[in-house]
Each structure stands twice: as structure tokens, then as C-alpha cells.
């Protein structure tokens, strides 16, 4: 059916662009933070992080290092889990990467909450900290349920929770892309103070970074269950618009944040 084909095209286009943007982000993390760490220049992290490496703070510095490492590995491995050919041709690889993905997601959520509520490694206000905490809770819930249904061999339900996990895990990436799209759209910071990194625009984005992708995914699930073609065309059109916005955000983030530091 034309409606089904249009929706599949929109989904594949969104996924391909998202994966490309995430791989650029992974490359940035490895080449900037990884290269500085390999050279023993942990203070170099502070060129980007407002509250990065702090001499003498072993526990918080270790949590930050693991959080950065897991952000790179989980972003790269997440895309591999969603490629159908890899799942069908290399099932053992898919299972082991999936186990690693779930464990890493849990660890990343825990270290993220620790960094937020110790107040040592984050900027922003309480509303942003609450948003990050909710994101961590959703990561833990989605990871646990994806694992549970995989073990129970209920693969249709497992796939849905794995897709939800993919959306909430990538909240950090969605935030950067969304922020750079907002800055490009407004030709500068609007709705927040760039010095304090606080304001209503950032509060909204802190929640939208995972709730918006999660909401669109739920609409996709519901649309698949409805027989009418109009809902598929409407969702496909919405996905095309979101893909264009995401593409602009990826371009702005790549040129403004990531590429200059690689």
C-alpha cells in the first residue's frame, strides 16, 4: 500500500540520518575526550565541560569518565541492535551486544543521577536536574523490560521496549541536536541565559529530549494498529518534518560543537 511504503520510507530516512549523526557524536567523544585522557590531559575536558575534571575528586571524576565512555559505546552499539540484517544473520552477536547495551544503560543512568545530584559535574537549574533524573528512571525501566521480554522470548514486546530504550538512552544526543537547531532557528540564544545555562527554553528541551522521541514512537506503534491510510500519511509527513529539523540540528552541532574539536 502507498501509505505503508511512505511511512516505511520516512522511518528509514529518520533512522539513517539519526545513526549518521550519532556516529559523528561518538567520533567526537572518542577523539576529544579519549585523546585527552590518553595523553593524561584530563583538565583538557574542561574546555567543553563547565564542571568537568576536578583534581582530588576521585569518585566524581571516575563517574564522569565512565559516563563519557558509556555515552560513546552505548550510542554506537544501539544502532547495531536496530539493524534487521544484523539481528537475523548474526543472532548471537545481537544477543551479546544487547546484554552489553542493557548493562551499560543501567550504569549510565546511575552515574548520570549521581553526577546531577552531587552538584559537581552539571550545570542548569533544578528543573533540568529533575528532567535528567526522570530520563535515568525511564532508561532503567525500559532496559529492565527489554531484558525481561528477551529472556521470556516474547520478541515482539521485546522489540518495542528496545526501541523505547533507544529513544530515552539517546536523550543526551537529542538535547545537543535540539539545542543547536533552536540556536540556528533563532540566530542565537533565545529563552535562556547562555552564561548560567538556565531558562524556559532549556527546561522544555530537557524534558523534550526524550519525551518527544518517545511520544513519536508511541504514535508509530498506534498507527501500525490502525487500518486507515490517512493516519500513516499524517505520521509520515510529521516524520519528514522532524527529520529535516533533526538534520539541521545535526549539521549545526557538527559544525559548531563536534568537528572543531575533533
Whether pLDDT at 60 is above 90: no
- The 10s digit of each residue's pLDDT in 214-226 is 999 999 999 988 8
pLDDT digits (tens, 9 = 90+) for 24-47: 988 888 888 777 777 676 666 666
**Spatial separation of the C-alpha atoms in residues 171 and 245, rounded to whole Å:** 16
Cα separation values, 140 from 14, 92, 105, Å: 25, 24, 7
Phi-psi region of 154 (alpha: psi -120 to 50; beta: other; left: phi over 0): beta
Q: Where in the chain are the domains?
A: 2-261
- In this predicted structure, the answer to whether residue 247 has a pLDDT above a threshold of 70 is yes
**Sequence-separated (6 or more) residues with CB below 8 Å from residue 111:** 63, 64, 66, 67, 70
Distant-in-sequence, close-in-space partners of 134: CB < 8 Å, separation ≥ 6: 207
Q: What is the mean pLDDT of the chain?
A: 85
Residue 112: is its pLDDT beyond 90?
Answer: no
Picking from 141, 153, 177, the residue whose alpha carbon sits closest to that of residue 25 is 177
Return the top range by mean pLDDT from 61-65, 101-105, 111-115, 185-189: 185-189
pLDDT at 191: 93
Q: The whole model's pTM is what?
A: 0.86
> pLDDT by residue (tens digit) across 132-191?
899 999 999 999 999 999 999 998 999 999 999 999 999 989 999 999 999 999 999 999
Amino acid at each position: 500500500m502507498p501509505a505503508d511504503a511512505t511511512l516505511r520510507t520516512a522511518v528509514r530516512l529518520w533512522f539513517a540520518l539519526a545513526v549518521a549523526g550519532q556516529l559523528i557524536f561518538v567520533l567526537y567523544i572518542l577523539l576529544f575526550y579519549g585523546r585527552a585522557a590518553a595523553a593524561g590531559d584530563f583538565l583538557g575536558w574542561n574546555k567543553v565541560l563547565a564542571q568537568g575534571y576536578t583534581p582530588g575528586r576521585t569518585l566524581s571524576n571516575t563517574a564522569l569518565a565512565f559516563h563519557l565512555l558509556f555515552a560513546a559505546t552505548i550510542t554506537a552499539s544501539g544502532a547495531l541492535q536496530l539493524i534487521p540484517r544484523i539481528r537475523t544473520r548474526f543472532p548471537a552477536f545481537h544477543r551479546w551486544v544487547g546484554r552489553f547495551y542493557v548493562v551499560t544503560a543501567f550504569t549510565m543512568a546511575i552515574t548520570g543521577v549521581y553526577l546531577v545530584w552531587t552538584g559537581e559535574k552539571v550545570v542548569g537549574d533544578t528543573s533540568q536536574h529533575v528532567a535528567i533524573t526522570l530520563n535515568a528512571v525511564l532508561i532503567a525501566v525500559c532496559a529492565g523490560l527489554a531484558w525481561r521480554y528477551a529472556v521470556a522470548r516474547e520478541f515482539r514486546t521485546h522489540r518495542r521496549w528496545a526501541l523505547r530504550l533507544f529513544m530515552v538512552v539517546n536523550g543526551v544526543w537529542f538535547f545537543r541536536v535540539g539545542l543547536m537547531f533552536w540556536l540556528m532557528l533563532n540566530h542565537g540564544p533565545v529563552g535562556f541565559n547562555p552564561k548560567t545555562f538556565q531558562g524556559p527554553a532549556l527546561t522544555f528541551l530537557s524534558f523534550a529530549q526524550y519525551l518527544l522521541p518517545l511520544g513519536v514512537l508511541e504514535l508509530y506503534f498506534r498507527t501500525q494498529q490502525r487500518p486507515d491510510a490517512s493516519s500513516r500519511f499524517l505520521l509520515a509527513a510529521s516524520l519528514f518534518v522532524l527529520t529535516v529539523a533533526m538534520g539541521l540540528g545535526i549539521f549545526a552541532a557538527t559544525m559548531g560543537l563536534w568537528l572543531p574539536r575533533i
